[in-house]
Amino acid sequence: MKGRQDCPLCRIILFALTGPSQGIGAGLTEAPWNTERRGFILGSLGTRVVFLEDSPGSPWIPRAGIAIERGHIDLALIAEWLHSCETVHGSECAPEPLSIGRSSSAGPSLKTFRLLDVINGCMVETPIHREYFALSYVWGGVEQVRLTKGNKDLLMRPGALAGLASQLPKTIRDAIDLVRLLGKQYLWVDCLCLVQDDDNDLANSIGYMDLVYRGATATIIAASGQNADAGLPGVHPNSRHAVQVIEEVAPGVRMTVLRELDELLNISKYSTRGWTFQEQILSGRSVIFFDHRVYFRCRRCAWCEDNNDYKSPEKENQSTIWGSLISMAFDPEVTAINAYYILLFYYSQRELSVGGDAINAFAGILRFLGDRLRTGILEGLLTSSFDISILYYGSGLKRRSGFPSYSWAGWSGAIDWPQWDFDPECQSAPSIYANEWLDTRTWIVWSAGTPDETLRLLDIGLETATAADEKYIGYRNRRHPLLTRGNGPTPGMQRTTDETRKYTLLQFSSTSIRLLVSSSLEHDINRLRIADTFLLADRRGATCGYVIPNSADLVQIGKEVEVILLSECTESLWQSVQEDAHLEASGDYPFYWVMVVAWDGDIAERCGIGIVRKGAEQWSYSPGPVWKEILLG
């Protein structure tokens, strides 16, 4: 194909194959015609080669390309997108009316709401129900003016923003201009609407980002470039250089290339940042600037200025990963706990400039899902199904300070959870079997407290569960025999006074055994590539289990590790690992979930999660199985 530059169809397909996220090499590449999407499909994310809609007066071709202006965007088109979504999609994508002082079990209500008044050029404190746009962008270390206690009064004076224009990053200046050009008045921007040197103001607001983004008419997403000076290409005349390849493949027949939004966002700096994750998920509508194009996304559709999909707003086209995530987060038919784990899987792959923001940057999603989850939150874990929450795993993780090792927030890197079908027959009713597992296959009584406070039993939501619907996953009526071994924290148990541990410690009792790390395997487990899975052997030398360490340097082949039994486990989980490890077993629950720990003084730290065959405890290395009280940090 590279040698056939005289063929216009070859040229345009070659351009499609060599796009920003495509690779091309020797051999055959399939480009099937897709009748529904009216084009040749190339690549897993759906790059299309389609017919071009020649002019506004020509016959309409469904799902065709449109010629775009090279130097600027069409503001009327953005207004049309917003209007179409509002009138056709209605409440499904509409901003949710908000009010100051909204009660919530998750914490204090949002006390103050500020917006930029782009008409009068100042910051205002305003009732939350005003129509406004929100801005989502990458800071990227750019120096910029921020709202502080010292300049708050200045910024509230009409015209103040004009005087500070040179100190505002280009992205914020362009967003202000865009809102004004669309005939709107208000814009929310984090650095100018949250008092950056007021810890109380930040703490009150950060957990309520769901209110901000769900309440916006639309979120302006600045996905271009590496930082806040990238701007919004096309807002001003000649401020972009849009490349659009159009080829006449037959007399009077022209074709062009369309790329899926997610295909492009996958290579953006924006999609690597932690804070932007919940901003994308929670926004009912988004106007997205990337690759010198402008896009629109809502909870039903994704449109671009270079095609006419928006002319059929009743046709849902959210078929990509991000579209699925957004739909799932708001779909009442999706079990909330499943949404939580899937969203965390994708969030954990993002980067944070400040590791201490690990939970804050996800707090809006936690709060949004809170009503459906009906659970307390402990260091980012769900207390109403805590024995599930603590089973996360990952490979090549790095310890993150400021959070406990038992929480996903305590580690940097991609994490996932076992597919919690805790019974082989559970596919037809996962919540029923998950709840049965929680009630009959777990025994640990969890207590929690910071180093300077009294330990208290973890609220596992039994009262909430009594009236819960069948989709609710949580403890209901725990009845495991080992629950009689211990039912609360030991009074006066010695604890650390280490001032560096500002997080919550866990206290619990369970059986501790010692096993030998014998060898390693490499596996794909569910959605993650696990670099190292280490086999565990008992004192007879028999393989009896395996562990996935958070980091490979936390275990060493030929060395013993301490293994804490957590709960019972069916053999249906991680089956490929068990087959390679030759872990044959029979019965409904022939294994234990286990945690490998190491000690830092009187505090244990999690090293990894794994599975051990029942009966291995009797062949433990010295001192044998011990019922042990543990403080886990």
* Final residue in a domain of this structure, among 249, 277, 304: 304
Which pLDDT score, from 0 to 100, does residue 104 have? 45
CA–CA separation, 550 vs 539, rounded Å?
25
Q: Is the pTM of this model over 0.85?
A: yes
Residues 6+ positions from 357 with CB-CB distance below 8 Å: 274, 275
Q: Are residues 423 and 535 in the same domain?
A: yes
Q: Is residue 482 part of a domain?
A: yes
Q: Is residue 51 part of a domain?
A: no
Q: Do 392 and 525 meet the contact criterion of CB atoms below 8 Å apart?
A: no
Average pLDDT over residues 600-628: 96
Q: Are residues 410 and 290 in the same domain?
A: no
Tally of domains in the chain: 2
* 1-16: b (≥16 Cβ within 10 Å) or e: eeeeeeebbbbbbbbb
Place of tokens 């009526």: 477
Beta bridge partners of 457: 447
Q: Are residues 298 and 437 in the same domain?
A: no
Residue 59 has pLDDT above 90, yes or no: no
Which pLDDT score, from 0 to 100, does residue 380 have? 95
SS3 breakdown of the chain: % helix, strand, coil, rounded to 5?
Answer: 25, 25, 50
Rounded to 5°, angle at Cα 72 from 69 and 76: 85
Residue 570 token pair: 């069916």
Distances (CA, A) of 135 to 18, 171, 227, 402: 32, 9, 14, 29
Q: Are residues 292 and 406 in the same domain?
A: no
The percent of residues above 70 in pLDDT, for the chain, comes to: 83
Higher-pLDDT residue of 486 and 197 is 197
Residue 477 token pair: 């009526």
Q: What is the CA radius of gyration of the chain?
A: 27
Q: Are residues 158 and 289 in the same domain?
A: yes
Q: Are residues 289 and 404 in the same domain?
A: no
Residue 602 token pair: 């009187």
- Where is average pLDDT lowest: 241-250, 379-388, 471-480, 558-567? 471-480
CA–CA separation, 302 vs 73, rounded Å?
17
DSSP-assigned states of every residue in 68-111: --SS---HHHHHHHHHHIIIIIGGGTSPPP--TT---TTS----
- Where is average pLDDT lowest: 11-15, 87-91, 155-159? 11-15
Q: Are residues 452 and 584 in the same domain?
A: yes
Q: Is residue 491 part of a domain?
A: yes
* Structural domain of 424: 393-632
* 540-571: b (≥16 Cβ within 10 Å) or e: eeebbbbbbbbbbebbeeeebbbbbbbbbbbb
Q: Is residue 551 part of a domain?
A: yes
Q: Are residues 147 and 294 in the same domain?
A: yes
Distances (CA, A) of 70 to 134, 220, 255, 292, 522: 26, 21, 17, 9, 49
Place of tokens 């071009």: 52
* Final residue in a domain of this structure, among 280, 304, 328: 304
Which pLDDT score, from 0 to 100, does residue 537 have? 96
The confidence band for 129, taking pLDDT boundaries of 50, 70 and 90, is confident
CA–CA separation, 437 vs 387, rounded Å?
10
Q: Is residue 64 part of a domain?
A: no
Average pLDDT over residues 324-328: 77
Q: Are residues 297 and 446 in the same domain?
A: no
Q: Are residues 453 and 600 in the same domain?
A: yes
Q: Is residue 353 part of a domain?
A: no
Residue 571 has pLDDT above 50, yes or no: yes
CA–CA separation, 180 vs 203, rounded Å?
30
CA–CA separation, 330 vs 323, rounded Å?
11
Q: Are residues 402 and 292 in the same domain?
A: no
How high is the mean pLDDT of the chain? Answer: 85
The percent of residues above 90 in pLDDT, for the chain, comes to: 56
Q: What is the largest CA-CA distance in the chain?
A: 88
Q: Are residues 276 and 420 in the same domain?
A: no
Q: Is residue 329 part of a domain?
A: no
**Coil, strand, or helix at residue 262?**
helix
Q: Is residue 618 part of a domain?
A: yes
**What pLDDT digit, counting tens, does each position of 263-275 carry?**
888 889 999 999 9
